[in-house]
């Protein structure tokens, strides 16, 4: 009997144990679970689960082996400057510096107004875009962080990768089900890492960053 692990939240499906609370009897093999079965903790699709015996992804070559050409740092975009300032405002709030937080919000508002209108994309195009990012750019960035032993950057990249994977999984479902995905249910966003959850109640703790759910907020329905 094998075990399968959710790469987003770490939930383990154990064939021997099944999941009786969801009507899955002990001894139910992985293959017998329907294709639209999702992770009971975080909603990740069955397709992203990994066999537990699977060896760890080959670790990165030691630093120096792939010392890439030093790229000059690109200037921050206006959108990034806005995000930087809202984040610094949060940093000030945590230090109970209300005046500084308010000043950073003024700067953020300035940048926010000047973000150039980007290219319009539909949900399916965004799904493709994020999917490509997951296949190529995230692994490369994680490799750079690992090679340089930059744990902080690696942490941000791992969370971002997990959350992005959840976004693609929801966009994939939305592609098939359309508005039915959200009819009669709620959608939540974790204020810390950006994890998105569709369901009636938010999970107890965020499956990605493990913050308690007082930091997971519901996106309100528009008033009719």
Partner 1 sequence: MYAVRNIRLCTKDCLCLYVCPTGATDTETGQIDRSKCISGCRLCVDACPSHAISLVPESYPPQQEKKQTVLAAMRKRSASKSAQEQAFALLEQTAPNEPARRLAKAMRCSCRLMAEDLLRESGYMLPQSENVQTLLKSELENIKDNDFPRDAAKRLLELLKQ
21-33 burial string, b = 16+ CB within 10 Å, else e?
eeebeeebeeeeb
Q: Of the two residues 13 and 159, which places its CB atom closer to partner 1 in the complex? A: 159
Alpha helices in the chain (DSSP H): 78-94, 98-113, 123-132, 138-147, 151-177
Tell me whether strands 186-190 and 50-51 are parallel, antiparallel or unpaired: unpaired
Among 77, 128, 199, 210, binds partner 1 (CB under 8 A): 77
Judged by CB under 8 A, does residue 131 bind partner 1? no
**Near partner 1 in 198-217, by CB under 8 A:** none
Q: Of the two residues 25 and 219, which places its CB atom closer to partner 1 in the complex? A: 219
Q: Of the two residues 24 and 187, which places its CB atom closer to partner 1 in the complex? A: 187
Q: Where are the beta strands (DSSP E) in 15-60?
A: 50-51
Among 54, 58, 176, 221, binds partner 1 (CB under 8 A): 221
Q: Of the two residues 30 and 174, which places its CB atom closer to partner 1 in the complex? A: 174
Could you give the strand order of the β-sheet that contains 186-190, starting from the edge strand earlier in sequence? 196-199, 186-190, 216-218
For partner 1 (CB under 8 A), the number of binding residues is 82
Cα–Cα distance between 219 and 187 in angstroms, integer? Answer: 6
Judged by CB under 8 A, does residue 117 bind partner 1? yes
**Near partner 1 in 42-71, by CB under 8 A:** 67-68, 70-71
């Amino acid at each position: 009997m094998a075990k399968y692990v959710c790469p987003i939240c770490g939930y383990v499906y154990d064939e021997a144990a099944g999941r009786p609370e969801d009507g899955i009897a002990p001894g139910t093999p992985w293959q017998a679970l329907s294709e639209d079965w999702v992770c009971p903790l975080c909603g990740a699709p069955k397709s992203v689960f990994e066999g537990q015996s699977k060896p760890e992804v080959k670790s990165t070559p030691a630093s120096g082996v792939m010392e890439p050409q030093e790229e000059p740092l690109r200037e921050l975009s206006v959108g990034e400057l806005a995000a930087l300032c809202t984040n610094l405002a949060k940093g000030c709030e945590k230090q109970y510096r209300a005046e500084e937080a308010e000043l950073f919000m003024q700067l953020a508002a300035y940048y926010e107004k000047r973000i150039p209108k980007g290219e319009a994309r539909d949900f399916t195009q965004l799904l493709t875009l994020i999917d490509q990012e997951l296949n190529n750019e995230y692994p490369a960035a994680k490799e750079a962080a690992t090679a340089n032993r930059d744990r902080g950057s690696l942490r941000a990249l791992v969370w971002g990768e997990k959350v992005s994977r959840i976004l693609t999984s929801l966009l994939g479902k939305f592609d098939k089900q359309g508005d039915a995905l959200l009819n009669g249910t709620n959608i939540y966003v974790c204020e810390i890492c950006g994890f998105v959850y569709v369901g009636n109640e938010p999970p107890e703790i965020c499956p990605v960053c493990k913050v308690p759910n007082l930091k997971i907020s519901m996106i309100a329905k528009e008033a009719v």
